[in-house]
Amino acid sequence: MSKFGKSFAAIFVAASALAPAAQAATLKFAYQGPLTQLDPYSLNETFTLSMLGNVYEGLIRRNEKLEIEPALAESWELVDPTRWRFHLRKGVKFQNGNDFTADDVVFSVDRLRGEGSDLTSRLPKDTKVEVVDAHTVDFVLSSPNPILPSEWETMFIMDKEWTEEHDAVKITSASDTTPNYASLHANGTGPFKVTMHEPGVQTTFEKFDGWWDTAKHNLDKVEFTPIGSDATRVAALLSGEMDMVYPVPVQDLKRIDGNGSTRVMTGPELRTIFLGMDQTRDELLYSSVKGKNPFKDVRVRKAFYQAIDIDGISQKIMRGMSTPSALMISPLLFSRSGEFHRYPYDPKAAKALLEDAGYPDGFSIGMDCPNDRYVNDDAICQAVASMLARINVKVNLNAQPKAKYFARILYSGGYDTSFYMLGWTPPSFDSWNILADLEACRDDQGNGGAFNIGGYCNPKVDELAKQILVENDPKTRDDLIAQAFTLTHEDVSYIPLHQQSLAWGVSDKLTLAQRADDQFLFRFVTKN
């Protein structure tokens, strides 16, 4: 080798040794849907909030295990049962250099409760927010609420001056013709700032050096690209163009694990998938039974429950990527969930129950199901239909895209269904939400349990829910919750199926924390 060649080679080696270190801190990842806009209050949806959670912060935040820890508030206390006092962190800067103060909290909470906000449920309507001093804020409630800050990780705090300066106080509604500054730009206190946002194409983030906390991640840059096609998303990970993609379809799990340089991270998700039954109409809309509603009889509901082979669904359809559930809430979110067990799969018992109820020859029933919302949703419904056929219940399955499906079965469609599938995660990570939104009695206008599509109603459960809402002692509270769940279990208010698993495809270069709420936060990522 000539002298020139040697020195050239030496330069080349030096350059290639340096190159990975310089590039290592860029994270590239893909998700199935786009980040539609950056306004933190306009869409209450996990992915959007999770992305914005890298830029904005709330008064509290949650760690890898979803435990609450202080964020923009350093500490908080109950001054009296209806007055919460939050002591704000000092010396926190927004990404534009402005100081974070109590005024920003009041401003953000007002904006969050304003017209066009989709996050109004973050705090009770009549809550008053009072500034005590520049770094202390009181939240005054009309009735006690022991879980007040539980949803506040995603109650992001915006900068008052920045928002007013850019005329973005009003949240962009879809009827406006000019986009709001805040829906295309972001200015939070979080570990990353948005450097480029082209909706539906790409969003890039950069490390924010002025972050108040010590960074445990080693990223300088993050590039997010939405990739809608499952096959392309998986291919982008396998080819090394992406460091992380999610979600991964169940049929590709083995491919990614067997690739040698990528792996699949799985874990139970918080969402519970379940089946619901119309228990309120006097005659079902879609059934061969006329003049009465078979679902009003608890024996029929239990027969349906016991006819479903949940382990079969878990193994054959979910390929092990689901955990059968006895409750309507993830076991991670309720301390006493271990006391509850599913009714066993027993087609004979199910048949006997149907006979007792007066349907020895079964009947036919229309079932509604989404086909693009949950993991393998329509395949699960098909399996349920064939399992019910064994107890002589003929299911006419109607699987539809989510846009059409939800338009029909929710309040806006007049709860137009007899037998349906739904998935639910309590946004507060707390059982009370299940009792209030899914199990509470409702009227035809949807007052009460608005998402209680089947209209299950047990006044005793409602009474317990009222007590749970204001009970401040955790142990008594869990007792009450267990009582309520026992009642709904005995009533077979729903047929809980399972918690589906999260499936993230990850390059072996990455170490990261997978949170059970499917939030992907860059501050938990390190890249070698």
Partner 1 sequence: MLGFALRRFVQAVIVMLAVALIAFSMFRFVGDPVNQMVGMETSIEAREALRERLGLNDPLPLQFTRFVTNAAQFDFGTSYQFRQPVADLFAKRIPATLELSFTSALFALLAGIPMGIYAGLNRESWLSKLFLSVSLIGISLPTFFIGILLIFLFSVTLQWLPSFGRGDVVEIGSWWTTGFLTVSGLKALILPSITLGLYQMTLIMRLIRAEMLEVIRTDYIKFARARGLSNRAIYLRHALKNTLIPVITITGLQLGSIIAFATITETVFQWPGMGLLFLQAVQNVDIPVMAAYLILTAFLFVSINFIVDILYFLIDPRLRVKQA
241 binds partner 1, rule: CB under 8 A: yes
Among 27, 29, 31, 37, binds partner 1 (CB under 8 A): 37
Of 68-76, 155-163, 235-243, 327-335: span binding partner 1 (CB under 8 A): 235-243
Helical (H) or strand (E) element with 7: helix 3-23
126 binds partner 1, rule: CB under 8 A: no
Write out the two tokens for 122.
Answer: 């973050």
226 binds partner 1, rule: CB under 8 A: yes
User: At closest approach, how far in Å is the CB of 344 from partner 1?
Assistant: 31
User: Which spans in 160-212 are helix H?
Assistant: 160-165, 181-184
Among 427, 454, 455, 496, binds partner 1 (CB under 8 A): 427
Antiparallel, parallel or unpaired: β 394-400 and 364-370: parallel
Sign of the dihedral through C-alpha 374, 378, 383, 386: positive
180 binds partner 1, rule: CB under 8 A: yes
Of 176-184, 213-221, 246-254, 327-335: span binding partner 1 (CB under 8 A): 176-184
Task: Say how many C-beta atoms besides its own lie within 10 A of residue 225's C-beta.
Answer: 19
439 binds partner 1, rule: CB under 8 A: no
Among 121, 218, 392, 398, binds partner 1 (CB under 8 A): 121
Residue with tokens 């080349």: 12
Distance of CA 11 to the CA centre of its chain: 50
169 binds partner 1, rule: CB under 8 A: no
Of 158-166, 167-175, 455-463, 466-474: span binding partner 1 (CB under 8 A): 167-175
24 binds partner 1, rule: CB under 8 A: no
329 binds partner 1, rule: CB under 8 A: no
Among 31, 39, 102, 306, binds partner 1 (CB under 8 A): 39
d(CA 442, CA 454): 10
450 binds partner 1, rule: CB under 8 A: yes
d(CA 405, CA 369): 7
Contact 78, 133 (CB under 8 A): no
Q: Say whether 193 sits in a helix, a strand or coil.
A: strand
Contact 274, 494 (CB under 8 A): yes
225 binds partner 1, rule: CB under 8 A: yes
d(CA 104, CA 270): 32
DSSP string, 367-412: EEEESSSSTTHHHHHHHHHHHHHTTTPEEEEEEE-HHHHHHHHSGG
20 binds partner 1, rule: CB under 8 A: no
User: At closest approach, how far in Å is the CB of 284 from partner 1?
Assistant: 23
Of 32-40, 320-328, 469-477, 488-496: span binding partner 1 (CB under 8 A): 32-40
183 binds partner 1, rule: CB under 8 A: yes
Of residues 121, 95, 65, the one with CA closest to residue 186: 95
Contact 302, 310 (CB under 8 A): no
User: At closest approach, how far in Å is the CB of 316 from partner 1?
Assistant: 25
Residues 6+ apart with CB under 8 A from 235: none
What character string, x for contact with partner 1 (CB under 8 A) and - otherwise, covers 96-115? Answer: -------------------x
User: At closest approach, how far in Å is the CB of 307 from partner 1?
Assistant: 28
Write out the two tokens for 55.
Answer: 């830029």
What character string, x for contact with partner 1 (CB under 8 A) and - otherwise, covers 385-414? Answer: ----------------xxxxxxx--xxxx-
Of 36-44, 51-59, 95-103, 285-293: span binding partner 1 (CB under 8 A): 36-44
Select 13 or 201, whichever has its Cβ closest to partner 1: 201
User: At closest approach, how far in Å is the CB of 211 from partner 1?
Assistant: 28
Q: What is the largest CA-CA distance in the chain?
A: 97
238 binds partner 1, rule: CB under 8 A: yes
Select 347 or 446, whichever has its Cβ closest to partner 1: 446
Among 24, 25, 43, 326, binds partner 1 (CB under 8 A): 43
Task: Say how many C-beta atoms besides its own lie within 10 A of residue 111's C-beta.
Answer: 23
Q: What is the DSSP letter of 426?
A: -
d(CA 322, CA 147): 29
Positions in the binding site for partner 1 (CB under 8 A): 30, 33-34, 36-37, 39, 42-45, 115-116, 118-121, 172-180, 183-184, 198-202, 225-229, 231-232, 235-236, 238-241, 372, 401-407, 410-413, 424, 427, 433, 437, 445-446, 450-451
